[in-house]
Amino acid sequence: MIQKTAPYGLMLSDLYLFNKGCSYHSYRFMGAHVMDWEGEEGVRFAVWAPNAKEVRLVGQFNNWDRTGLLMERIGSTGVWVIFVPGLGEGAVYKYEIATFSGERLLKADPYANLAERRPQTASVVSDLRGFSWRDQKWMNTAKNKTAYSNPMIMYEVHAGSWRLKGKEDFLTYDELAQQLVPYVAEMGYTHIELMPLNEHPFDQSWGYQITGYYAPSSRYGEPKQLMNFIDCCHAHGIGVILDWVPGHFCKDDHGLRSFDGTPIFEGNDKKLAEKPLWGTLAFDFKRNEVISFLISNAIYWMDMYHFDGLRIDAVASMINLHMDKPPELFTWNEHGGTDNLDALRFMKRLNETVFHYYPDALMIAEDSSAWPAVTSPTYLGGLGFNFKWNMGWMNDVLRYMSYDPADRTHYHHLLTFSLLYAYTENFVLPFSHDEVVHGKRSLLNKMPGSYEEKFAQLRLLYGYWIAHPGKKLLFMGSEWGQFDEWKDRDPLDWMLLDYPLHGKMKHYVKALNHVYAKEPSLWERDQDATAFQWIDVNNAEQSIISFIRYGKHGFTVTVANFSRNGYSHYRLGVPQPGCYRMILGSNEGQFGGTDSRSKRKYNSEKLGWHGYNQSISIYLPPLSFQLFRFVSGDTQ
């Protein structure tokens, strides 16, 4: 007879699926679990260490005694297990792994739900059961909303530097719920995208070099506090996305590297494993147990914490075997190419699995490659993500804005080229943390010209960004024109809001966000190429562009002037006769501009222009963005 259970209630069927790479909820049986076993309360520990000679549990509870608490190996599964009666939440522990080469390694639990606050590195028993979620309405509503045809404007946040109470005195998850969530709701963002919260040893890695994939960082509190934060977001109508890093992990001794004395997470081929640019190791996407570990982790954040989606980091680096590597580390696939076929298979299965359990999840690829069909379904040959960052648009438009307005006539294509491919993927237009660090300067400080012109051009840039097809992402502090680069050890420069132009910039971004949310034409048909129409695409001489965005029941007209020249009577072709109301202008005085004119409605004239039979004559200030809504067929 086949044994169905392993020691202490573990199911052999679960371990079989784990070994086959098909366990998508492995966190339910791996790691530390508070439980009752045969009438005794305690904690069961289970760890995968297939090449270990023996594994012992050590911790504060036994004074880190390396001679006791020998774990039991479960056949050929590579999993070791022990039940310790009397233990409960808060127990601090590690696994001591004896290798066949004679080493004795102290390792944190790869499946731990909590870790000690750095610089300490042990795991901590944490029972995730019992949190009283109040977001059922949100969860049910989310199931009925299609992300593609709804507004999405994400606020990217580094939890350790949005605000600080003092040097390395971080806001807790509860304090972020009290301060960050109302701020984001007031500003009109639809989602918060959190830079990685997984436990990591080095603050300046920003969470992208992880040791605890299942542990939200203890810098900011405990797991149930994070649950409360997300619950609070949902109560305010805000979705939450987590930056997730399946491509590589850090080399710290207590982490995944050579976990049982052999490279079980990173694989034996050092050329494949090494990520020299970051000093990290890539996961071995051939190994079944690694696939179970990673896909379970993606599911874990949605299952246990109610995250609404994941932004997958460094997809291009996962795809390309040569990316960011010196020639001596080059490898080729079985066909002689540079595509990482195992990573591609992993991403497809990841997305298939996530959407099986969470059909409305957001799976967003941070991908700078030209790989085709990243956001196409896997059954059509795609990678299966539902959104991809548009890095090409971001690089082109920031390069364009870096030129003095007098020189932009030579670079007009950088503004317009994106519409040749804007509908090939489901895009997010990102102004992320990556664009405001390492000497790149803040978005405001990238703008050329005088102090006032910098603000005018940033308002113009944001207007073009909001009107361009694609979902949106903006890094924290950019909403008021942070002047310095992001400083990850210090809080944002909130004092800048005391200065008029910064305060008015924040007011502008708030107004822009709310206008975006109320204008279906700006997001309702984001994936429909027929919903976009240029009015004037070729006006390089004046550095002006204009276009139409169509919704299901109306349309808006955008005019953006990237030059220092203003026009008292700029004639603009329009598709229908009637009244056009300016619903937002970046040069308005309330936003820091110079325009005090009260006229906001323009009736069309039967005067052909830009290929249309109708046109309007508008005041077009220099370095300005204007958005018009067609409001009526009545010209009176």
Helix, coil or strand: residue 544: strand
Residue of 96, 260, 308, 313 with catalytic role: 313
Distances (CA, A) of 565 to 56, 446, 447, 619, 633: 74, 21, 17, 12, 32
- Helix axis angle, 288-303 to 341-357, nearest 10°: 30
Q: For residue 549, give both structure tokens.
A: 């965005």
Q: How far apart are alpha carbons 606 and 388 in whole angstroms? A: 42
Cis check: omega of the bond before 119, within 30 degrees of 0: yes
End-to-end CA distance of the chain: 87
580 sits in which H/E element: strand 579-585
Distance CA 608, CA 600 (A): 22
**b/e 145-184 (16+ beta carbons within 10 angstroms → b):** eebbeebbbbbbbbbbbbbeeeeeebbbbbbbbeebbeeb
DSSP assignments along 142-162, one per residue? HHT--GGGS--EEEEE-TTTS
| Eight-class DSSP state of 309 | E
CA distance 348 to 603: 52
Catalytic residue chosen out of the listed positions 266, 289, 366, 396: 366
> Which of 334, 346, 337, 340 minimizes the C-alpha distance to 319?
340
Q: Which of 449, 452, 435 shows the shortest CA–CA distance to 398?
A: 435
Q: How far is 178 from 237, CA to CA, in rounded Å?
A: 15
- Distance from C-alpha of 515 to C-alpha of 507, rounded to nearest angstrom: 12
Question: What is the C-alpha to C-alpha distance for residues 614 and 573, in angstroms, rounded to an integer?
Answer: 6
Cα dihedral: 425, 431, 437, 441 (round 10): 130
Structure tokens at 129: 């059961």
Nearest 10 degrees: CA dihedral of 143, 147, 152, 154?
A: 70
User: Both tokens of residue 189?
Assistant: 């963002």
- Report the 10 Å Cβ neighbour count for 505: 25
Annotated active-site residue 342? The verdict is no
253 classed as catalytic: no
Annotated catalytic residues are 313, 366
